[in-house]
Amino acid sequence: MYILGIESSCDETSAAVVSMGDGERRILSNIVASQIETHRLYGGVVPEIASRAHIEAISSITYEALSAAGVTIEDIGCIAVTSHPGLIGALLVGVNFAKSLAYAKGIPLVSVNHVKAHVAAAYLEYGELEPPFTALVVSGGHTSIYDVRDYTSFCEIGGTRDDAAGEAFDKIGRVIGMPYPAGAAMDKLAYEGKADAFNLPSPALAGDNLDFSFSGLKTAALNIINSERQKGSEPDHADLTATYTRVIVDAIVKKMSIAIDKHGTNRLVLAGGVAANSHIRAALERLCDKKGVEFYRPSLSLCSDNAAMVAAAGYFEYLAGRRADTSLNASALDGDMTV
Ligand code: KG4
Ligand code: ZN
pLDDT mean across residues, the chain: 96
Asked whether 314 lines ligand 1 (CB < 6 A), one says no
Distance 308 CA to ligand 2 centre (A): 12
| Cα–Cα distance measured from residue 226 to residue 220, given in angstroms and rounded to the nearest whole number | 10
Asked whether 10 lines ligand 1 (CB < 6 A), one says yes
Asked whether 276 lines ligand 1 (CB < 6 A), one says yes
Burial of 232 (0-12, 13-18, 19+ CB in 10 A): exposed
Mutational test site, ligand 1, from 139, 143, 280, 309, max ligand atoms within 8 Å of CB: 139
> What's the order of all strands across the beta sheet hosting 109-113?
24-34, 12-21, 2-7, 76-84, 109-113
First to last CA, the chain: 33
Sheet strands (E) in 192-289 = 211-212, 267-271
Q: Which residue has the higher pLDDT, 50 or 202?
A: 202
pLDDT tens, residue by residue, 253-303: 999 999 999 999 999 999 999 999 999 999 999 999 999 999 999 999 999
Asked whether 181 lines ligand 1 (CB < 6 A), one says yes
Distance 138 CA to ligand 2 centre (A): 9
Distance 11 CA to ligand 2 centre (A): 9
pLDDT tens, residue by residue, 204-262: 999 999 999 999 999 999 999 999 999 999 999 999 999 999 999 999 999 999 999 99
Distance 66 CA to ligand 1 centre (A): 27
Pair 65, 15: CB distance under 8 Å: yes
Q: Name the pairing type of β-strands 24-34 and 12-21.
A: antiparallel
pLDDT tens, residue by residue, 300-312: 999 999 999 999 9
Distance 121 CA to ligand 2 centre (A): 11
Q: In the predicted model, is pLDDT for residue 336 greater than 80?
A: no
